[in-house]
Amino acid sequence: MCGIVGYCGPRDPVDVVVAGLRRLEYRGYDSAGVAVPADGRIREVKKAGRIANLEAALAADPLPSSGAGIGHTRWATHGAPVDLNAHPHVSADGRIALVHNGIVENWASLRTELEADGVAPVSETDTEIAVHLLARAVAGGIDLTTAMRQVAPRLEGAFTLVAVDAHDPGTVVAARRNSPLVVGVGQGEHFVASDVAAFIAHTREAIELGQDQVVTITADTVEVTDLDGAPGEVRPYHVDWDLAAAEKGGHDWFMRKEIHEQPEAIAHTLLGRHDVDGRLVLDELRISEEELRLVDTIVVIACGSSFYAGMVAKYAIEHWARIPCEVELASEFRYRDPIVGPRTLVVAISQSGETADTLMAIRHARAQQARVLSICNTNGSTIARESDAVIHTHAGPEIGVASTKGFLTQLVACYLLGLYLAQLRGTKFDDEIAAVVAELERMPVMVQQVLDDHGVVTELAAELAGARSILFLGRHVGYPIALEGALKLKELAYIHAEGFAAGELKHGPIALIEQDLPVFVVVPPQGRDQLHTKVVSNIQEIRARGARTVVLAEEGDPIAAAHASVLITLPKVSTLLQPLVAVVPLQLFACELATRQGHDVDHPRNLAKSVTVE
Ligand code: F6R
């Protein structure tokens, strides 16, 4: 986690860096700080709490002007979120300032080494060790870039480091391993940041950095090398979204804005996915058709909401492509010695593309010869780079910590993958595939209809604002949606919420049902086997025991409606695609309920958007 910004150029670096930190606040908001080199020494201001605290401190005690600056917004790992542990950390001689994202795993042995050398770290952080190592290196007469190349290989774990040297005030030096870093290329100015959102107000031209690369920026130059000093591969790209996409556009929360952007996000994710004959083309799929035909198992790995998207993927892939598909939490995958090999396709789903659990699982899978295809929303992210193939979702930046449009577009990408594999392996006829694709293309309109119809959800959130516990039930693809509904409520409203497979009720959870307990039930469309009937029976069972049933059912479903204390109608869609419409009221409900409870919806407590630690 943590957000990092560095800047070299003619603007006031403090303004640029603090504005950048604001856009990265989703990555962590325990403390924030900024440092500039000025008059031969580092000047820094850092404060525990949100960036507003830093801004107030800067207003009270402004930093001097400078040609460069660095800043950090923190999600605490080592050391409590107090001023002392906030970044930037400054060397004892006041010459070097450093910000860090990640975890230095061997910090204790390095600390012992420094203490033996007479250095006394003042904070509880692992980061501070690195600033003292850099200071010791430059004191030996080398420049900061060379020092970074010496120090970075000594650190074990994950890091993005960004540093400035008061003796070279127009330069920022950075390095990365297992943690994100991009360079922004402007006219007579350069940026480094955890995410392009930090500099999108100034430039849309970016450079993606590889593993173990060091970058040195000045106002006019960018130099990328590996840790040995050899020139590094430079991969420039153009960011296809702009500042407006990273702002709230009149909504109270980014989350609400992102919920309302979902029709457009789905449409963008579907753009250009088939040729004139209607055949699917996934051209970012750099695994040969022959290899994909030989795949005998698919293992989906992901975390949180992305994991629930993976659960939906299992139903779609097995139904359409007839390939056995497992879904596994990325954080569990490598610890159970999974059986994967050259004929396993591992599908990694990650909105941010930086989730450490997912990244580590990918590396484990690749080490076992599996091919990895990632479904990712962030261009140039580590997961996208380290995969054999990528299906990019085109949701645009997702800033709200709770995933919404990221989740919906992941579903779309999973459906496309399932259909593509079916096309390739001939398990579905072309016209059957084309019919599903055509239905997917109608989904933006369907989702818009749910958004336009949200009055019932708003009233329900007002009514249930004092609830202590809310349950969610679903079957088949409605089950992951029940889990997702519960997760959204937990993370935003901090109330007890649980999702169950409706068929599991009678095996235990039904004991939780008591008078007036709110239970959301996702009812599958009518007419598919006995699925609909079974879920209706489940509603009857809980209603008989006093539950207040909030039923999500397709329009024109009188049987489900008859058992609803509150009815939320969904547009008519096919069973497998129902998650795309069913999850939207649950997102709106969680957002609305949390708003009514006075919570900060975009920054739920204890969470960060991009979880780059295991
Ligand atoms: C929940 C949420 C998280 C993420 C999870 C994975 O609203 O956003 O559960 O889904 O942390 O993140 P990514 O998809 O970035 O790997």
pLDDT of residue 286: 78
**Mean pLDDT (10-residue bins), the chain, 614 residues:** 93 97 86 96 95 96 96 87 94 97 89 93 92 97 97 92 97 91 96 94 93 96 96 90 77 92 92 84 82 95 98 98 97 89 96 93 95 90 90 89 96 97 95 95 95 93 94 97 98 95 91 94 87 94 95 96 96 97 98 95 83 71
Please indicate whether residue 609 is annotated as part of the active site. yes
403 lines ligand 1 (CB under 6 A): yes
For atom 7 of ligand 1, the residue with the nearest CA is 402
Angle in degrees, CA 90, 96, 100, rounded to 5: 65
- CB-count exposure of residue 210 (10 Å: 0-12, 13-18, 19+): middle
**pLDDT at 283 (0 to 100):** 66
Q: Which of 406, 174, 389, 433 is nearest to 292 (CA)?
A: 389
pLDDT at 1 (0 to 100): 65
Q: Give yes or no for residue 305 CB within 6 A of ligand 1.
A: yes
Under a CB-based contact definition with an 8 Å cutoff, are residues 206 and 191 in contact?
A: no
Q: Which of 81, 26, 17 is nearest to 44 (CA)?
A: 17
3-class SS at 201? coil
Residue 279's Cα: distance from chain center in Å? 31
Cα 25–chain centre separation: 13
Cβ(303) to ligand 1 under 6 A? yes
Nearest CA residue ID for atom 5, ligand 1: 304
- State CA 305 to chain mean position distance: 10
| Ligand 1 neighbourhood includes 45 CB (under 6 angstroms) | no
Q: What is the pLDDT of residues 386-415, one digit of tens each?
A: 999 999 998 888 989 999 999 999 999 999
CB 425 within 8 A of CB 317: no
Q: Ligand 1, closest atom to CA 402?
A: 7
Closest approach atom of ligand 1 to CA 383? 16
pLDDT at residue 528, rounded to an integer: 67
Decide: 374 in ligand 1 pocket, CB within 6 A: no
526 CB-side CA count, 13 A: 12
**Identified catalytic residue from 2, 8, 303, 376:** 2
| Model-wide pTM > 0.85 | no
- Residue of 195, 303, 398, 399 with the most ligand 1 atoms within 8 Å of its CB, for mutation: 303
Distance CA 530, CA 220 (A): 67
Reply yes or no on whether 2 is catalytic: yes
In angstroms, rounded to a whole number, what is the distance separating the alpha carbons of residues 147 and 136? Answer: 9
Query: Residue 355: CB within 6 Å of ligand 1?
Result: yes
Rounded to the nearest 5 degrees, what angle is found at the Cα of 185, between the Cα atoms of 184 and 187?
135
The pLDDT score that the predictor gives to residue 539 is 95
Q: Which residue's CA is the closest to the ligand 1 atom numbered 13?
A: 350
Mutation pick for ligand 1 pocket among 355, 386, 409 (CB with most ligand atoms within 8 Å): 355
- CA distances from residue 556 to 195, 478, 553, 566, 568 in whole angstroms, order as listed: 46, 19, 9, 15, 12
Q: What is the pLDDT of residue 13?
A: 97
Whose CA is closest to 415, among 573, 213, 256?
A: 573
Q: Which of 46, 47, 428, 609 is catalytic?
A: 609
